[in-house]
Structure 1
Amino acid sequence: MFTHIMIGSNDLERSKGFYDATFVALGGQRGEVDARGRLIYTHSGGRLMITTPIDGNPATFANGGTIGIAAASKEHVQAWHDAGKAHGGKSIETSPSERPNGAFVAYLRDPDGNKLTARSQPTK
């Protein structure tokens, strides 16, 4: 259904540090910068792109929006959460924890305020 998700940032260098750390913690690759200056992360057919807004206004986050990121294991989710906090992210919602369906879930806000979650597959 989706080809990509694009979010805005007011500081692409800061965003690159945050997203490089969190995606590497999940076993992914560091992002690349395209010819337009956008950060691009590609993994398992999905793309996350980060850019400064083309209209020149400040980037803002989606109130009520959450970007979900698949993780291979509980350990990957915890590593993602730890890497995010160490690179300017803020832990939100509940502490990383197992859900009733067996999925392990963690939530962060990136340095620009975008709400993210990493979760392992349900086991029940």
Structure 2
Amino acid sequence: MTRTARIAQLRESIARRVLDTIGVPADARILQVCRVGQIFIVASEESSNRWAAYAVDTFRIPASDDSDPFYEDGEAPKLWGVLAGWGGDGADEVDGMLAAATAYARSVA
């Protein structure tokens, strides 16, 4: 397995665990995963969702130590924090939602 394939597999595994934290069913399909600084972005398809079959969610990556400059010592979050999300009904909306999520992540990074 190539390094690129291992990284993609690791990102998808992390994305699956992150989506579990917000109650996304295990049968949801992960479409794309990316990272912008300390923000993790996951695009997914959940065909059984009656409100929006496609979603892009942003999460704050948990701090592994106290080096996060935005928090006092010992106060950095240790859990995935949901920041923002977008939903749509069509696959053609995913690229726009990813662009909005990436712009958002850059604005809060």
State whether TM-score is above 0.5: no
More helix by percentage? 2
For normalisation by structure 1, the TM-score amounts to 0.27
TM-score normalised per structure 2:
0.29
